[in-house]
């Protein structure tokens, strides 16, 4: 288990890879973001991206899955406070995304037994294009106090 004291500014975590299938793009968009560029291949082909693309919300959900499996599941008591997001390039069906997150800042708060940490995450496609940049502000528990004998 990682605690606030274990995090170091500049520390990086690899998030692994995630294959975005066309079926998944369509299913997610039909349920949560039903606009033509996400749900209609014919209309999307005539649109600004010249083909079907994943919803930005879908891309964020993929980020969440990747970061939970690779990092948050190993961190003590993480609570999100805020985030900033950019989606600089589209995600097309059939793309394998690769991710990494970096600790940008850690502010220990001993009186509260936690820390405020800032993480910056990027997801990229196989050509190296960044498709998501997310800066997250979280609270992380400090290591439990040792019992005094």
Domain map (residue ranges) of the chain: 4-141
* Burial profile 26-39: b = 16 or more Cβ within 10 angstroms, e = fewer: bebbeeeeeeebbb
Per the CB < 8 A criterion, the answer to whether 141 and 3 are in contact is yes
Predicted confidence (pLDDT) per residue in 69-126, tens digit: 999 999 998 899 999 999 999 999 999 999 999 999 999 999 999 999 999 999 999 9
Predicted confidence (pLDDT) per residue in 14-42, tens digit: 999 999 999 999 999 999 999 999 999 99
Whole-model pTM: value is: 0.92
Beta strands 79-86 and 12-20, pairing class: unpaired
- Classify domain 4-141 by CATH number: 3.10.129.10
């Amino acid at each position: 288990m990682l605690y606030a004291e274990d995090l170091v500014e500049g520390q990086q975590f690899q998030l692994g890879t995630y294959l975005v299938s066309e079926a998944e793009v369509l299913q997610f968009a039909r349920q949560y973001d039903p606009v033509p560029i996400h749900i209609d291949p014919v209309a999307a082909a005539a649109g600004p991206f010249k083909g079907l693309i994943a919803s930005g919300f879908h891309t964020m959900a993929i980020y969440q899955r990747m970061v939970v499996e690779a990092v948050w599941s190993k961190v003590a008591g993480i609570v999100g406070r805020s985030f900033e997001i950019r989606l600089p390039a589209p995600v097309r069906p059939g793309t394998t995304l690769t991710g990494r997150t970096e600790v940008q800042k850690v502010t220990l708060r001993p009186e509260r037994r936690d820390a405020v940490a800032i993480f910056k995450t990027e997801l990229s496609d196989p050509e190296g294009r960044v498709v998501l940049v997310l800066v997250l502000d979280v609270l992380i528990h400090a290591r439990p106090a040792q019992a005094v004998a």
